[in-house]
Amino acid sequence: MNAPATLEINGTAIDATFAEAFPMKATRLVITAHTPAWAMNAANSLTGFATSVIGCGCEAGVERTLAPDETPDGRAGVSVLLFAVSSKELAKQIGRRVGQCVLTCPTTAVFGGIDPATSRAPLSDRAALGSDLRFFGDGWQISKMIGATRYWRVPVMDGEFVCEDTAATVKAVGGGNLLFLARDTEAALGAAEAAVAAMRRLPNVIMPFPGGIVRSGSKVGSRYKGASASTNDAFCPSLIGLSARSELGADVGCVLEIVIDGLTDADVGAAMTAGIAAASGLGRAAGVLRISAGNYGGKLGPYHFHLHELAAGLDGSRA
């Protein structure tokens, strides 16, 4: 079925375009602790400085909090997702971040969160957890097998740090995105915040930028040597009438973006649909003028999320 040339929901125009995403490698880690607050302290530290693989090495975020009956050791926990461009880089980021941010955090333990038996995402490899961190025990560490899984008990000053030997990694999808074109900053923030809140209710996805939102949307390349990315001038309101690439009308005063990483393309698509529904639910009356997406003409990645297909059937939509 061909998508209509124009689509509106509550007066908000949905652009006839697509978000372009690319393959990544990912894992889920489950962090537990004596209290929910300490589990979250470790999770927030581990996922810090992890907004973009361009400069951070990985993209990471808190997926959700976990009740004691959802964790391997029966304590309160937090699940985090980490994404990188290769298995090697993902393994490096896991080792560094768990070693510096979870091992160091009072009362914590960490486990792999991908179940190979039930994962919908294709398995990729296994990354080291306790198999490397055990050396911190300086010979006092103890290995224990429970079923087919190996765990390590490393003595630390508040007792023992328990860590699963390895964590399964999967083939994943990064770079799904939505652009919210609004009348002013307040309207753009309202749309983007509503979209992030809706997306966070779904499993298997993260929005890695601060609060889930990015204002410095980028394009590939730059006029300056050595810079791999630069400002997306097509969506900068201050460049209306100056940049030949501008895609904005004079009524647009602010543009904000959400980037979505997911364990599968279906997860990314579901999150984008939820985001479109939440933002367009506010409608043009709230200053949400258009919803668009960023792509590179299909040349960057094999996953193309067409906005009209995602929005088809949402309440209030009309061609």
The CATH code that applies to domain 24-170 is 3.30.70.520
The per-residue pLDDT of the chain, averaged, comes to 95
Over residues 107-162, the pLDDT tens digits come to 999 999 999 999 999 999 999 999 999 999 999 999 999 999 999 999 999 999 99
Q: What is the C-alpha separation between 204 and 43, in angstroms, rounded?
A: 16
CATH architecture for the domain at 8-21+173-318 = 2-Layer Sandwich (3.30)
Which of 94, 124, 125 lies closest to 110, judged by CA?
A: 94
Q: Is 180 within 8 Å of 279 (Cβ atoms)?
A: yes
Q: What is the C-alpha separation between 244 and 236, in angstroms, rounded?
A: 12
Under the banding of pLDDT at 50, 70 and 90, the label for residue 313 is: confident
Residue 2 has pLDDT above 70, yes or no: no
Over residues 217-234, the pLDDT tens digits come to 988 888 998 888 899 999
Over residues 57-114, the pLDDT tens digits come to 999 999 999 999 999 999 999 999 999 999 999 999 999 999 999 999 999 999 999 9
Under the banding of pLDDT at 50, 70 and 90, the label for residue 246 is: very high
Q: Is 234 within 8 Å of 247 (Cβ atoms)?
A: yes
Residue 123 — φ and ψ, nearest 5°? -65, 145
Over residues 17-44, the pLDDT tens digits come to 999 999 999 999 999 999 999 999 999 9
Q: Where does CATH 3.30.70.520 sit in the chain?
A: 8-21+173-318, 24-170
Q: Is 46 within 8 Å of 62 (Cβ atoms)?
A: no
